[in-house]
Amino acid sequence: MILVMIRNIVFLVLGIIIGVRLTDLVGYLKLNDLRASEKAALLTYPVATEEHLAIWLRREVRILCLVLTMPSAHRTKAARVNRTWGARCNKLIFMSTKTDPHLNILKINISESRSNLYAKVRTGMSYVHKHHLNDYDWFVKADDDTYIVMENLRLFLYPYDPESSVYFGCRFKSSYSQGYMSGGGGYVLSRDALRRLNLFALNSTTTCKLNGDSEDLQIGHCLQDVGVIAGDTRDFQGHHRFLPISPWDLIPSIG
């Protein structure tokens, strides 16, 4: 009798695991399929100029940007982000350890050090999940020396469903099968990816431990553990859209 009960429990657990993984597989297969009606709307929308298209996409693809910075960079790097590409986010929040009257800062009570970047990002992700999850479709994490062409990002994200469990960036290899996205090049989470990260990963002492490892590596591992897929951001020619290097490194040397 006991053996029969154990067998039934084992079959039940296996059934649940297989069901969850099949759900993730179906989500993965759908990632590269454009939403036909929305693609048609984009192609037929009477846009007179690229500026009109950018305005329209800003309404259709709502992006919250979380930017890592520090007090010593408030008046330099952070200020430049605030004046340039950050102004084209639907909402811009800086993560720092001190407030600043000129910046929209989420103050995080932690000492400034590279080993604490992961803790800062965890706090930022938790904050936007609690206060802004349903207000935006996609959630960008970037550094204060990152530059993002927001119009191009929205155009790339438009065909994807923010309720898909996916995130995008420049993928690096690691011991995990799908690797992780470079933090320096910036990465973007869907609404469901942010939801899963907070509900199932950040609250777990086994899946997503708080430690001093690099922020991008740890977030990538946490996301994979809760079924979030690392999406492919390359264009039809195989060129990368997210680049974790300086623009100067892309310019061929002369002479």
pLDDT tens column, 95-114? 999 999 999 999 999 988 88
Pull the structure tokens for residue 74: 């408030």
Query: Which one, of 216, 208, 214, lies nearest residue 242 by Cα?
Result: 216
* pLDDT tens, N- to C-terminus, the chain (255 residues): 555 455 555 444 455 445 545 445 445 445 555 444 555 555 555 556 888 888 999 999 999 999 999 999 999 999 999 999 999 999 999 999 999 999 999 999 998 888 889 999 999 999 999 999 999 999 999 999 999 999 999 999 999 999 999 999 999 988 888 998 999 899 999 999 999 999 999 988 777 877 777 899 999 999 999 999 999 999 888 889 998 888 778 777 665
Task: Please report the pLDDT score of residue 187 as a whole number.
Answer: 97
> At CB < 8 A and 24+ separation, what contacts does 204-212 make?
210/118, 210/119, 210/122, 211/118, 212/115, 212/116, 212/118
Q: What is residue 122's three-state secondary structure?
A: helix
Angle in degrees, 0-180, between the axes of helices 150-157 and 50-60, rounded to the nearest 10:
60
Cβ-Cβ contacts under 8 Å for 28 (sequence gap 6 or more): 229
Predicted model pTM: 0.81
Pull the structure tokens for residue 250: 């892309």
Q: CA 25, 243, 107 angle in degrees (round to 5)?
A: 85
